[in-house]
Every structure is written in C-alpha cells, then in structure tokens.
Amino acid sequence: MAIFNFFKKKNKHVRESDRLPTHIAIIMDGNGRWAKKRALPRTAGHAAGAETFRRIATYCKNIGIEYLTVYAFSTENWNRPDDEINAIMGLLEKYLHESIEKMERDKVKMKFLGDVSVLSPKLQDLIAKTEELSKTFDGVQVNICLNYGSRAEILKTTRDIVKSIYSEQNSDAQSSDVSADKSNSAKDILAGITEETIEKHLYTTGIPDPDLIIRPSGEMRLSNFLLWQSAYSEFYFTDTLWPDFKEHELDKAIASYQQRDRRYGGI
C-alpha cells in the first residue's frame, strides 16, 4: 500500500522524502538486446542507451540525488567487436563535448573511475578537461566507470598501498641512515593496511558508498562492479532493458529502497 500511495503522488514527493538515497549506482545493461528485439545493430542500442543516461542523470539532479555512478564500459568489454567498441567510444566523445558546453549551466560535475590511460589521447584530453571544469562548481556528481573492473581496482589499490609503505620506509631509512629490517617491513605493511587505507586508494576515494544499486535487463549479478563499495548497498533488479528505463522506473527503484530496513549488521 505504501508503494501504491507513493506512485499516486507527484515526483516532488520523492525529493522531499527523508529517505532519498544519497548515492545511486546503475549497471546500464540491455542495450544489445534492445537493439536485437528491433532488428537493429547493437550500436543503435548503445545510442539509445546513451540518451537514457542523459535523461536519468538529469532526473537524478532534479530530484536531489547527490551522486550517480554508472557502469559505462568494463575491463571485460574490450572483448567485444571493434565496431561496437568504436561506437561506444564515439558516443562518449560526443557526450563529453556537449557536457563541457553545458555542465556549468546544468550544475552536473563528472568524475571518471577506471584506467583511462589506455584510451585515445583525444578522449583522455576530454576527460581531463571535464574533470578540471568540474572542480569549479558544486552540483550533482556523475561518476562514469570507464575501463573499470572492481577486481582490477582492488588489485591496483593493494599494489599502490604496498608501494606507498615501501616508499615511506625507504625514505625513513635513508634519512636516519639505518637499513630497513625485512621482517619489520612485512609487519609494517600488514599494520599499514586498514579499511581506511584501502578506501583512500580506491578510484572512489572521497565518494560515499552507493546506497542503491540498480541493474536493468533481468540479469541478477554485479558483473565486477563496485565489489568493495557495495558491501551494504541495497539492490534493485528489473527486467526493463536500459534504453527503456524511464524516470518512473527510477521512481519504482527508489520506492523499493525506501521500504528497506538498513541495519548494517545490527538489529
């Protein structure tokens, strides 16, 4: 009954709710199947999915969501056909050009999560320019996971922590003219790895964990997405394919979230 009453209200009641999620993450899935159902090339599905992303990002801003994270391209997606990869990158380039022109007006700032060093120099420049502009104003933050995989992120984080600890030890040893003891080094490394240390080295450092993770398309798995960050996230699955995911679908996901009792392991 509560959910039914929710949908009888106008969207402004979503914004006024004291249980509105701070951070929503979405696995944008189903573009290829959407295109196949219409006898269209998969690239048409990605174009339709890009438009859905624009619309949902704007809607999140309008209802007061502070963070939106979307899974745009995974580390495993490089196994797809070249023409499909090129189409996705082309859509991203088009979106970034348009966003740079509009982001200050729209109050939407962007951050990219993942290893963007393998992308084309042109895309890397656009990403750098977008992130630099984002520092100059406040607004909803849209995080785009690009060449992102959570296992790769955790592996990178572990290596970065170990490198950081060794670098500090070597610096201390040189300044005191004392060589570092290997057994103590191992103990120091273990002592230096805490949850806080790990979170500081993740791509998402400074970003709150997602309250709600949405996966369209009927699949019920995370697919290597935000494994560390989703430890206490609420999940919402729907059969709706991503290009068909409208604002009312997001309302339904939020309504479901608002019925959850988040205890974080407590009673």
Which residues are bridge partners to 234 per DSSP? Answer: 212
What region does 87 belong to: left with phi over 0, alpha with psi -120 to 50, or beta?
alpha
In the residue annotation, 77 being an active-site residue is answered as yes
CA–CA dist 70, 143 (Å, integer) = 6
In the residue annotation, 181 being an active-site residue is answered as no
Of 77, 106, 115, 188, catalytic: 77
What is the secondary structure of 65-129 as a DSSP string? -SEEEEEEEETTGGGS-HHHHHHHHHHHHHHHHHHHHHHHHHTEEEEEES-GGGS-HHHHHHHHH
CB of 22 closer than 8 Å to CB of 211: yes
Of 29, 209, 211, 251, catalytic: 29
Contacts of 187 (CB under 8 A, 6+ apart): none
CB of 168 closer than 8 Å to CB of 95: no
Q: Cα 99–81–112 angle (5° rounding)?
A: 30
Active site residues: 29, 77
